[in-house]
Amino acid sequence: MAMLLNPYLTFRDTAEEAMEFYRSVFGGELTVMRFSEYGASEDPAEGNKVMHAMLTTDTGMVLMASDTPNSMDLTPGDNVSISVGGDDETVLRGYWEKLSDGGTVTMPLDRPPWGGLFGMCTDRFGTQWMISISDDKAQAGA
């Protein structure tokens, strides 16, 4: 059972610029996906915004980020989430249920356009979480 715990930064319109900067600092490979690639933007003018970026370094560090659509709140200083991902649906669903209990679900754990299962919540202490279950196990559990 492999799982990853990663910081996830959110920006308004500068995720790609920031991630390019972090790549210049830490090295590694940067992948960038845009809202338009998945039809995930409510506003076509925001289609070029970064839906998800991931920097993976040769030392094993992983840093993720995205731009926040204009329709969603973004408060500088509150722009870090913790992302937990893996392939054990039972364990990850358990995390989801416990973290969201007494908190606020901002995106229900469900199938996103890119596959697998994904959900976002803020726990009762104000920490923002993202749970991502990879496609293979999520499909088997469906």
**Tokens at 50, concatenated:** 């970064």
Q: Is the pLDDT of residue 43 over 80?
A: no
Q: Is the pLDDT of residue 24 over 90?
A: yes
Torsion of CA 31, 131, 50, 47, to 10 degrees: 130
120-131 average pLDDT score: 88
Strand order in the sheet with 128-133: 29-34, 50-56, 62-67, 3-11, 80-86, 128-133, 117-122, 104-110
10-24 average pLDDT score: 92
Q: Is the pLDDT of residue 137 over 60?
A: no
103-108 average pLDDT score: 95
Lowest mean pLDDT across 21-30, 88-97, 129-138:
129-138
